């Protein structure tokens, strides 16, 4: 585990963008699972403004780690947010965009996207492998769309599962621990004071840390990199 702490969200976004650009530069073809949320939105803005012409986007294939079961035009769609803040502003072939179809039946879409990952990603030890999985973490310690009350989804044999938000009951399609922990690199982007307690419990392996899905992020490559702002890291030394 590598912990990087920066002054604020914008600095987190800039430093992560540099990290991402380096990964892309080093490879001929790059498969990346994107995250939704406020911090990735800032990252996408930085990439679109400062890295638009510094990255060879044609060799990048974008996927999503999770998606709300809403239409792609819906206000809650992770895909829509990514289009608005990044995809509409860079030169990326349409064939390199592999979205989760939130408008489909959730169970059917989880199966379809599982098959898509099997078909599009290179396999290592029989499992599809991303070059990079980008994750966030909620105040409740969830990551992707695997929440504490459904933590068993992490260990699913499937590439994707249907998750249910604990409060709204909204269904989401999410990749599972099988895929996340098989990635070459996993990056956890966590900002804000509301995350500080869970960051401390998880990174310091305090009592009860296993109850939080984010604690299960442990790629077999041993390449787990946290990008934190000072607020999120305020309770760790």
Range of the domain at 72: 7-212
Give the pLDDT of residue 173. 98
Q: Is 183 part of a structural domain of the chain? A: yes
Q: Is 89 part of a structural domain of the chain? A: yes
> Helix (H, G, I), strand (E, B), or coil: what is residue 90?
coil
Q: Is 222 part of a structural domain of the chain? A: no
Mean pLDDT of 136-157: 97
pLDDT-based confidence at 35, cuts 50/70/90? very high
Q: Is 23 part of a structural domain of the chain? A: yes
**What is the side-by-side strand order in the sheet with 66-68?**
66-68, 171-175, 160-164
Q: What is the mean pLDDT of the chain?
A: 97
Judged against a pLDDT cut of 90, whether residue 237 lies above it is answered with no
Spatial distance between the Cα atoms of 9 and 123, rounded to a whole number of angstroms: 34
* pLDDT tens-digit readout, 96-146: 999 999 999 999 999 999 999 999 999 999 999 999 999 999 999 999 999
Contacts of 69 (CB under 8 A, 6+ apart): 102, 103, 104, 106, 109, 170, 171, 172, 173
Give the pLDDT of residue 37. 87
Q: What's 83's domain CATH number? A: 3.40.50.1360
Q: How many domains does the chain have?
A: 1
Q: Is 231 part of a structural domain of the chain? A: no
Q: Is 195 part of a structural domain of the chain? A: yes
pTM of the model: 0.97
What does residue 114 show for φ and ψ, rounded to 5 degrees? -60, -45
Sign of CA dihedral 53, 54, 57, 58: positive
Q: Is 220 part of a structural domain of the chain? A: no
Kind and range of the H or E run holding 66:
strand 66-68
């Amino acid at each position: 585990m590598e912990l990087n702490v920066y002054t604020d969200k914008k600095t987190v976004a800039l430093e992560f963008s540099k990290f991402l650009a380096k990964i892309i530069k080093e490879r001929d073809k790059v498969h990346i699972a994107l995250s939704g949320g406020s911090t990735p939105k800032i990252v996408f803005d930085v990439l679109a403004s400062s890295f638009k012409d510094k990255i060879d986007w044609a060799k990048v294939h974008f996927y999503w780690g999770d998606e709300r079961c809403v239409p792609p035009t819906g206000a809650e769609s992770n895909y829509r947010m990514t289009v608005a803040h990044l995809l509409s502003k860079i030169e990326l072939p349409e064939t390199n965009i592999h979205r989760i179809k939130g408008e489909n039946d959730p169970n059917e879409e989880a199966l379809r996207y599982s098959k898509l990952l099997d078909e599009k990603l290179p396999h290592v030890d029989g499992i599809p492998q991303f070059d990079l999985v980008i994750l966030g973490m909620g105040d409740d310690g969830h990551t992707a769309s695997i929440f504490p009350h459904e933590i068993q989804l992490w260990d699913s044999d499937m590439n994707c599962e249907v998750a249910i938000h604990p409060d709204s009951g909204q269904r989401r399609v999410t990749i599972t621990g099988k895929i996340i922990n098989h990635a070459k690199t996993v990056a956890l982007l966590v900002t804000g004071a509301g995350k500080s307690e869970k960051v401390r419990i998880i990174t310091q392996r305090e009592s009860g840390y296993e109850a939080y899905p984010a604690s299960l992020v442990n790629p077999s490559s041993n390449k787990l990199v946290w990008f934190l702002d000072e607020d999120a890291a305020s309770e760790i030394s």
